[in-house]
Structure 1
Amino acid sequence: MELLLPALGYFVWTLVAFLIVFFILKKFAWKPIISTLNEREKNIADSIATAEKVKMEMAQLQSENEALMVKAREERAQMLKEAKETKDRIINEAKEQAKLEANKIITDAQASIQQQKNAALTDIKNSIGNMVIEVAEKVIRKELSNKADQEQYIRTLANDLTANQN
């Protein structure tokens, strides 16, 4: 049991040595240790605050990036839609222009054909009229080669004219 209970002398000298070391440490080492611990605690708190701030900034940047991506997708979709509408409009305008040009060409061609047809008919009529006059002239010259036949023919024509006037 003596080993379990220290003697009073050891206890007192241990207590005195402890108090001396405690006061020396308190006087010389306690303030630097406490200030170092406080400084370390402050650095850790600052690091945690900075990490939280960076985390919040990253979250904000991520949400901004997502918003920008959504906006970019919307703008891309809008640009594609506008491009498609422009393409369709240009194609429709080109089709309408082609139809107008085709109709104009057809109308001009029909007018040209009609004009050429009328000119050809006029030429044919003039040619036929000239041929008829030549044939009639030759027939009349042959038939009216004598004077009696001419007088008889003139009387017949005069009678036909008076009959047509009545």
Structure 2
Amino acid sequence: MTLKRLIVISTFAALIVISTFIQIPVPPVSFTLQTMMIILIGLLLRPVDAFLSVTVYLLIGFIGVPVFTSGGGMGAVFLPTGGFLLGFPWVALGISFFKSKTKFIPRDLLVIFIFGLGMVYLFGIIGFILATNQTMMQALILFIPYYGFDLIKIAIAYVVYLSIPKELIQRIRMN
């Protein structure tokens, strides 16, 4: 692995940390910009690099550095937001792998909705249910306000992605 690639992966992991602390604290799950950053990582990086970038973020948190909304440590996976955290690497990987290579909007939006909403909430709600002993219906209803916020984050992430010149994206992805 080249030094440039390590720097890119580390930089995007750091951007996830920043996006975590841009939040509106609302129990039981704060509104953050994490999902938007995970989507951007999936759009900008190659699949393995997208996965590694998010995994580096998680590993930093799991060793105790307070980079999650709940702080740090392995115990974060057992909290209401743990499912979201565990799903993030797979979301970034899926978006990166299945997105179009030419910024074809219909395909990209479909991929982002499947992974950026579908997979995020599949992992997130399952983790939330396990941590809180709520029913599936209670969890689905509880997260209604979050769905709208995530739609806005998806739109922002995709507009940012579309505005980045293809040449710059290619430079980011190069070894």
Q: Under a length normalisation based on structure 2, what TM-score does the superposition of the two structures give?
A: 0.17
Pick the structure with more helix per residue: 1
Structure number with greater CO (CA < 8 Å, separation at least 6) is 2
Find the structure with the greater CA-based Rg.
1
Q: Under a length normalisation based on structure 1, what TM-score does the superposition of the two structures give?
A: 0.18
